[in-house]
Structure 1
Amino acid sequence: MGSARPQSAQLDANALQAGSAIAADDAHGAWPSEQWWQVYRDPQLDRLIETALRDNPGLREAAARARQAEAMAGVGQAATRPHVEAGMSLQRELFSEHDFIPAPEAGNYAWYNRVALEAGYDLDLWGRQRSTLAAMLAEKKVADAEAQLARLTLEQAVVRSYIALSLEHALKDLANDRLAHRRQAVQIMQKRLAAGLASEVEATQLDATLPALQLEIEAHEERIAILRNQLAALAGKGPGSGESIARPAMRLDDADALALPARLPADLIGRRPDVTASRWSVEAAAKEIDAARAAFYPDINLMAFIGFQSIGFTKFLSGESSVRGLGPAISLPIFDGGALRSKLGARTAAYDAAVERYNGTLVYALESVASRLAVARSVEQQLHLNERALATATRARALAQQGVKAGMTDYLILIDSEVNLLSRQQDQARLLAHRLESHAELMLALGGGLPSADVAALDKQARSSDQSILLGKVQTP
């Protein structure tokens, strides 16, 4: 077998430093529910996700791959069981004059007929077939986890586009409000111009700002239409279906803020689909190494057959034409030019690659949770700071409007106050949308919501004395 040995080792999730962002949490929260997006309290969003989970082609493709992997596991399981085949051959051939066939058939054409039942069973003394089956079952788990990841990614894509749609509506409203206030300022300027209190240049400059605001509103309309089309496509529908999507009505109460669950690093392995898929890939690679090692040993099969065999049809199915046999079939590789050793080396390298991929996914998973928590806390602080700035900007604009109306303030001061207020209002709208999006991204980082049956299975594993699956431990081959 040479010196091919695994060189990589799996990381222990609990041995990784979770960081202050995770440690600062009270760690007494609950995991996300299966319908985690319902926390936004928007029935239209619920319907969109329900439709997407039912009709999205990408999600259906992922489910088909999972079924394909399950079927292939059935093929591997069949190799561990006895097999029986029925065969019949009827062929007319020219028999040699110098073979074991006697006259009158020797040197002449005749029918050679055979019908038999043939049975075989691979004893699998070294576990090659069992290891191959175990690898296929692990690949089936990988496909299941990838299907769950596709589901979670789709859910988050719908929520993200829906939040963006909500933001565009809010920004469009702000632009409309600004346009309305600017038109009022234009009317005031026209009155001042008529009274000889303003110049034609001032009135023209103020009036010239209206088309830019109208262009901004049109740009928001464009993005709203595009986002509706995106949501319709995610739901597996045509663009026409997106035209009926109304303005979102999302909200996230402070009481819905998610506290991290206890034992986060370890439980995260069983919750995140990408970590689960990587862990099962390691398991599959380990079993493939076992199968590659078993190929170095003799392969012993039990073979048996029973049936009828004759030349011609006269006594084809009579007792004198019956044949039967039973015995082992043994094959042992002696010299293959290093093919088996190379295959073992390839399987070992594949195992190392799977382990490092798992380690990288695990590190990324913890980083993702910590980063999402940091973002969520920062957004809350930014919201509080911007609320104070928004109140100040609102008062400044109101004072500027009064001054312009009374002829005491230059219109440029009003425009500056409007620009400052709009900036603060836009920041507030974006921060509110960012708050919703950061919550959705935290759901993705935690692995989303699992079906109740999967949650029960995880709880059972947690109570079990054998923590190998929960903690992602795979025995090194």
Structure 2
Amino acid sequence: MRRLILVIALVALSGCATLAPERERPAMPVPEAWNAPAQTGPLAGVDELGWRDVFPDSALQKLISTALHQNRSLRQAVLAMDKARAQFGIARADRIPNIDASGQNSNQRLPADLHGGIEGIDRQWNVGLGISSFELDFFGRVKSLEDSALESYLATEEARRAAHISLVSQVARGYLTLAGDREHLALARETLESRQATLDLTMAQLAHGMSTELARHQAEEVVAVAQAEVARLTAQVAMDENALAVLVGVPVPELGLPARAINDVALRTTVEPGLPSELLTRRPDILEAEHRLWAAGAEIGAARAAFFPRIGLTTTAGLASLELTDLFDSAQRAWTFVPSITLPLFDAGRNKARLEAAKAEQQIRVAQYEQTIQNAFREVSDALAKNQGYEGQVKAQARRAASAEKSRLLVDQRFSAGLESAFAVHDAERTLFTARQNLLDARLARKLAMVELFTALGGGWQENGLHASAQ
């Protein structure tokens, strides 16, 4: 009993401390405020918003929900997290003695000169419980390896969250891009019809001597340009659907998406960015880099512990007998207690090299952590600036498109009355087409910028935010 208590005490005392360096989060290498004007109006923090709050469009919600269940890349991230969790379980188990039950029957024949002058066969029966080769972790080597495995597991959990956010963002961008290109295609077809009507009118005028061959060739040219644009955009829409199908995991036609104008896709347009320092606890890529940094520190602890003695323990308690019939007699109790110690004396510099490699790895992780923070700050600052700028662009492009529409109507009226040339009509149509294209591009860019901001702030990993809290 005293020996059992001693073993338990040694196990409890081992691994209470490690030789890993103190955890110290590097200073945040970014300003304390965003380089963008503050948004106005009622704002909600990104922590309060789920992706259903940011993307209230029902068709987009259906796409995102399907993608979160079907996407193969996200599935890989989840499986990687499961693997890291299992590896942490292995490392944690190394800190606890393995108790094994054993039974053995040994038979040995020895010659007379090795058996007290009598030739014979020795038989022995053994049963018992034992601890085999358990390392008493006085210098924290095993504890450091466990800490490293834990931080690696937590890092993969953050990587899964990052993959989740990225997938939500990619699906939203893919849906918006598809809606924008569909609208571009509709505009190109409308323009083709208009130019075809102009060509028909020019041909009629030519038949009555009211136009020229030059006007006819010019009209045919702009019709061919419009036909080429329709063909290009038709292919682009198909490619958009293919890209979206890869993200969602099922063919887009099976989802029955409605043909929706980009301006009709509902999207939250305001969010409170908070302070740059809040990104440290919100962005999964920053949290992943931080856990990788802590894991590298734990590896230093394990490398340092390799310079110190490794103390092992093997012990058994059970019954032993020469005869099976006597094996379970109380007088046949037996035990072994075999402590061992291994002290590194010469390893050709292996332990030192491992320690230097672990320290270098930690410095690499520090640099990666700081770079991740800098990239996150730039992404948020850029997204804030874009959201401020695109609002004005949309309004300006809308005014330009309205003016171009009025100009084209006036030119059409004058052309029908024979007061304008076909060249003026073509020029007005090109101007209107370009203006409407630019308006569509500005509207799409503004929507995409909001998706970019939401993603850069680290939102989107939860499904519901405001809706869930209201319930």
Which band: TM-score by shorter chain?
0.7 to 0.9
Of the three residues 67, 75, 79, the one matched with 1:60 is 75
- Could you tell me how far 1:148 is from its partner in structure 2? 0.3
Residue deviations 1:158-181 (CA, integer Å, cap 9, x gap):
111111101111111111111121
Distance in 1 (CA, whole Å) between partners of 2:114 and 2:151 is 52
Give the match's secondary structure for 2:35.
helix
Alpha-carbon distance between aligned partners in 2 of 1:355 and 1:101, rounded to the nearest angstrom: 70
* Residue of structure 2 in register with 1:70 after alignment: 85
Mark the CA change 1:174 to 1:239 in structure 2 (over 3 Å): closer, same or farther: closer
Structure 1 position 245 matched with structure 2 position 257: yes
Q: How many residues align?
A: 445
- The structural deviation recorded for 1:401 is 0.5
Residue in 2 that maps onto 1:462: none
Partner of residue 163 from structure 2, selected from 144, 150, 153: 150
Indicate the residue corresponding to 2:57 in structure 1: 42
CA shift in 2, pair 1:236/1:361, >3 Å: same
Q: Residues 32-181 of structure 1: matches in 2 within 5 Å?
A: 32=46, 33-36=48-51, 38-90=53-105, 103-105=118-120, 114-119=126-131, 121-181=134-194
2:35 pairs, out of 21, 24, 30, with 21
Q: CA deviation at 1:435?
A: 0.6
Q: What's the CA shift for 1:115?
A: 3.7
Aligned counterparts of 1:100 and 1:22: Cα–Cα separation in 2: 93
The runs of 5 or more residues in structure 1 that have no matched partner are 456-477
How many angstroms does 1:26 deviate by?
6.9
Would you say the 8 A contact 1:404–1:414 is kept in 2?
A: yes
CA 1:241/1:441 → structure 2, altered by over 3 Å: closer, same or farther? same
Identity, % of aligned pairs?
26
**C-alpha spacing 1:302/1:196, structure 2 compared with 1 (3 Å):** same
The answer for the alignment partner of 2:301 in structure 1 is 290
Q: Residues 84 and 99 (structure 1 numbering): CA distance in 2 closer, same or farther, change over 3 Å?
A: farther
TM-score normalised according to structure 1 size: 0.83
Q: CA deviation at 1:418?
A: 0.6
Offset of residue 216 of structure 1: 1.8
1:71 CA displacement? 1.5
Mapped to 2, the partners of 1:254 and 1:247 lie a distance apart of 14
1:307 equivalenced with 2:318 (yes/no)? yes
Q: 1:205 to 1:445 in 2, by over 3 A?
A: same
Q: 1:93 to 1:399 in 2, by over 3 A?
A: farther
Q: Is 1:441 matched with 2:456? A: no
CA distance in 2, matches of 1:382, 1:450: 31
CA distance in 2: counterparts of 1:30 and 1:260, whole angstroms: 5
Partner of 2:437: 426
C-alpha change, 1:19 and 1:420, in structure 2 (3 Å) is farther
| Structure-2 residue corresponding to 1:30 | 44
Q: Deviations over 1:112-155 (max 9, x none)?
A: 65443212554322222222212211111101000001111111
1:228 corresponds, among 227, 241, 250, to 241
Q: Is the 8 A contact 2:50 2:465 kept in 1?
A: no
Report which stretch shifted further, 294-303 or 76-85: 294-303
Q: Using the alignment, how far apart are the partners of 1:231 and 1:260 within structure 2?
A: 29
**Cα distance change of structure 1 residues 252 and 177 upon mapping to structure 2, 3 Å threshold:** closer
Question: Where does the alignment leave 5 or more consecutive residues of structure 2 unmatched?
Answer: 1-19, 467-471
Structure 1 residues 378 and 329, CA, compared in 2 at 3 Å: closer, same or farther? same
Structure 1 range deviating more: 247-256 or 214-223: 247-256
The residue that corresponds to 1:468 in the other structure is none
- In the alignment, the residues of structure 2 paired with residue 441 and residue 431 of structure 1 have an alpha-carbon distance, to the nearest angstrom, of 15
Q: Residues 376 and 438 of structure 1 are in contact (CA less than 8 Å); yes or no, is this contact kept in structure 2?
A: yes
1:394 Cα deviation from its structure 2 partner: 1.4
Q: Which residue of 2 aligns with 1:411?
A: 422
Q: CA deviation at 1:402?
A: 0.8
Which residue does the alignment assign to 1:258? 270
Partner residue of 2:393?
382
CA-to-partner distance for each residue in 1:244-287, whole Å, 9 max, x for gaps?
A: 3332455589994334343x211101111110100111111111
Paired with 2:197 and 2:74, the residues of 1 have a C-alpha distance of 52
**Pairing partner for 2:405 from 371, 386, 394:** 394
Which of 202, 207, 210 is the aligned partner of 2:223? 210
Q: Secondary structure at the match of 1:304?
A: strand
Question: 1:287 corresponds to which letter in structure 2?
Answer: A
Q: Which amino acid aligns with 1:117?
A: L
Most deviating of 168-177 and 305-314: 305-314
1:362 corresponds to which residue? 373
Q: Distance in 2 between matches of 1:453 and 1:401?
A: 52
Q: In 2 relative to 1, CA 379–44 (structure 1 residues): closer, same or farther, beyond 3 Å?
A: same
Paired amino acid for 2:160: A
Distance 2:465 2:299 in 1: 27
Letter in 2 for 1:246: P
The alignment partner of 1:30 has SS state of coil
CA distance 1:44–1:452, shift in 2 (3 Å): closer
User: C-alpha distance in 2, partners of 1:27/1:273?
Assistant: 28
CA RMSD of aligned residues (A): 3.3
TM-score by length of 2: 0.84
What displacement does 1:385 show? Answer: 2.3
| 2:270 partner SS | coil
The structure-2 alpha-carbon separation of the partners of 1:150 and 1:418, relative to structure 1 and needing over 3 Å to count, comes to same
CA distance, structure 2, for counterparts of residue 230 and residue 118 of structure 1: 59
| Alpha-carbon distance in structure 2 between the residues aligned to 1:250 and 1:37 | 18
Question: In structure 2, what residue type is equivalent to 1:12?
Answer: A
